[in-house]
Structure 1
Amino acid sequence: MFSIIQAAGWPIWPLLLCSVIALALIIERLSSLRARRVAPNGLLDDVLGVTQKQLPAADVVDRLEESSLLGSVLAAGLRAVSHDTKLPEEKLRQVFEFAGRRAVHQLERYLNTLGTIATAAPLLGLLGTVVGMIEIFGSQTPGSGNPAQLAHGISVALYNTAFGLMVAIPSLMFHRYFKGRIEAYVLELEAGADRLLSQLKRFTAH
Structure 2
Amino acid sequence: MEFISQTINLFHKGGPVMYLLVACSLFVVAIAVERFLYYRTITASAESFRQKLQPLLEKQRFSEAAQLCEQTQHALAIVAHAGLVALQRGSQVENALESAATLTSARLREHLDDLSMVVTLSPLLGLLGTVIGMINSFSVFNVQSGQPMAITGGVGEALVATATGLSVATLALVIHAACSRHVNRVVTDIEQTAALVVSYVLIKKTGRRDSHEIA
Q: Same fold, TM exceeding 0.5?
A: yes
Deviation of the 1:32 alpha carbon: 2.2
Structure 1, unmatched stretches of 5+, are: none
Residue in structure 1 matched with residue 101 of structure 2 by the alignment: 100
Structure 2, unmatched stretches of 5+, are: 1-6, 210-215
Q: Hey, what's the Cα distance between the residues in 1 that align with 2:141 and 2:147?
A: 7
**Letter paired with 1:183:** N
Residue in structure 2 matched with residue 37 of structure 1 by the alignment: 42
Deviation of the 1:61 alpha carbon: 4.3
**Letter paired with 2:54:** L
Q: 1:177 to 1:141 in 2, by over 3 A?
A: closer
Which residue of 59, 62, 69 corresponds with 1:55? 62
Contact 1:128 1:156 in 2 (8 A): no
Deviation of the 1:49 alpha carbon: 1.3
Q: Hey, what's the Cα distance between the residues in 2 that align with 1:42 and 1:165?
A: 41
Aligned residue runs from structure 1 range 150-161, under 5 A: 150=151, 153-154=154-155, 156-161=157-162
Deviation of the 1:102 alpha carbon: 0.7
Q: 1:92 to 1:150 in 2, by over 3 A?
A: same
Residue in structure 2 matched with residue 16 of structure 1 by the alignment: 22
Contact 2:10 2:157 in 1 (8 A): no
The alignment covers a number of residue pairs equal to 198
Q: 1:142 to 1:61 in 2, by over 3 A?
A: closer
Contact 1:132 1:156 in 2 (8 A): yes
Q: RMSD over aligned Cα, in angstroms?
A: 2.5
Q: Hey, what's the Cα distance between the residues in 2 that align with 1:182 and 1:59?
A: 25
SS in 2 for 1:109: coil
Deviation of the 1:62 alpha carbon: 2.5
Deviation of the 1:3 alpha carbon: 2.2
Deviation of the 1:83 alpha carbon: 1.6
Q: Hey, what's the Cα distance between the residues in 2 that align with 1:9 and 1:146?
A: 23
Q: 1:128 to 1:187 in 2, by over 3 A?
A: same
Deviation of the 1:109 alpha carbon: 0.5
Farther off after superposition, 105-114 or 142-151: 142-151
Q: Deviations over 1:95-149 (max 9, x none)?
A: 1110000110111010000111011111110001100111011145787488897
Residue in structure 2 matched with residue 110 of structure 1 by the alignment: 111
Q: Hey, what's the Cα distance between the residues in 1 that align with 2:155 and 2:139?
A: 12
Contact 1:133 1:153 in 2 (8 A): yes
Contact 2:50 2:193 in 1 (8 A): yes
For the pair shown, which has the larger CA radius of gyration, 1 or 2? 2
* TM value normalised by structure 2: 0.81
